[in-house]
Chains A and B, each alone.
Chain A
Amino acid sequence: MKILVFVSSRCPHCPNAEKVAEKIAPEYYNYGLSFKKVRMKTSEGKELASKYNIMAMPTILFLDEEDNEIQRINGAPSEDSLRNKIEKSLGLKKSFFSRIFG
């Protein structure tokens, strides 16, 4: 799984989003997670924003191995919230229903 963090210079919550992602993502590298910061002013940023319909800053995009979107977070999440979403997407955390019904 891949995490892209879209950031821009004008955005108030981008520094927080960057900091949180930079801190939390490496904890899951052993589970096949990779992380990349995408600056909106670059041509790659513009291309990816257009491809995934990114219209808010910051956006954290979760992609599968074929680059399909799994989910997105708009705004800067707390460390706990990002950890929780990564673990769910990687299948490390079972949902309430699967814990009960298997």
Chain B
Amino acid sequence: MEEYDLMIVGSGPAGLTAAVYAARYKIKTLVIGEQIGGLAAEANEICNFPSYKKISGVELTQKMREQVEDLGIEIKNSLVDSIEKFDSLFLVKTTSEEFKAKKIILTTGTEKRKLGLENENKLLGRGISYCATCDAAFFRNKVVGVVGGSNAALTAALLLSKFANEVYIIYRKDRFFRAEPMWIEEIEKNKKIKPIFNTNIIELRGEDKLEAVKLDNRKELRLDGLFVEIGSVSNSKLSNKLGIELEEGYIKVDKKQKTRIKGVFAAGDITNSPLRQIIVACSQGAVAANSAYEEIRNEAN
């Protein structure tokens, strides 16, 4: 069984940055993740990452991936099923492989929250989508909806307006109070976008593909596509099994990115960070790699 100094579980910006630092510390490292680039790869436009005025999520995360691979760190495309601690080592299992590691950095991030309605899974990829960047182009000259009122919902609506004829934003509150004013202004200026406030979707209609949604004001809205942007939930299954302390579902870390379990660090959106942004995830990844390296070095001496 292959043994590593450091295993980074999760391959978004936090994990990839941790890997860049680990490579420079010359510790034997493996990155293992299901979605390389993570949710950041789905961002249509990133305008607040220093060094780029504007860059797509795909391009930015691809650059991170290339940097890690150029430094000689392997990125494995697998889902980790479990992590167990045995004395001073961790046993990491995927469906088909097992590894040993001295230190673990968890960067498993978050996943998109679902509506939780009947038919949602059945119509996924048949009109229901959680990624406007991926699927907007399918809705040229169509009528689409976006559920939610966050920055992600508003930017999804703006992107969709470049393809669709009409874009409805269905939001349960009476105004966009969570989104940045810059995006709200853009929405207000866009004639194709029509917000519907104080409204929830209660039913998804369609057999082979989405045809309409039923709203809680009893009206039916005919839609070809519906993009769900109602926030995210932490991917904390592995931390639960390890007995890591959580705070409202997110991993509690100290300023060195240490968790309650010795040898396990966490970085990025999975942590109880006050700001979930790519730049924050990257900086936490760097700190976590440095803390893991310090422990490895101290234990070796």
Which residues from chain A sit less than 8 Å from chain B, CB to CB? 8, 10-13, 15-16, 19-20, 40, 49, 53-59, 72, 74-76, 78-81, 83-84
Contact = CB atoms under 8 A, between A and B. Distances in A.
B225 interface: yes
A25 to B, nearest CB: 14
Given A13-B134, A16-B37, A53-B209, 9 more contacts: A12-B61, A13-B42, A53-B126, A56-B134, A57-B134, A75-B35, A78-B78, A81-B95, A84-B95
A76 to B, nearest CB: 6
Contacts of B41: 12-13
Contacts of A54: 125, 138
B291 interface: no
B133 A55 contact: no
B134 A80 contact: no
B190 interface: no
A79 B133 CA distance: 24
B79 A80 contact: yes
Nearest to B224: A55
28 contacts: A8-B137, A10-B58, A10-B137, A11-B58, A11-B134, A12-B42, A12-B56, A12-B131, A13-B42, A13-B131, A13-B134, A16-B35, A16-B36, A16-B37, A16-B77, A55-B125, A55-B126, A55-B138, A55-B209, A72-B125, A75-B35, A78-B77, A78-B78, A80-B95, A80-B96, A81-B95, A83-B96, A84-B95
Contacts, number: 80
A4 to B, nearest CB: 14
Nearest to A15: B62
Interface residues of B, number: 31
Contacts of A13: 35, 37, 41-42, 131, 134
B58 A55 contact: no
B163 to A, nearest CB: 11
A76 B41 CA distance: 12
A80 B61 CA distance: 23
Contact of A79 (B77, B209, B225): B77
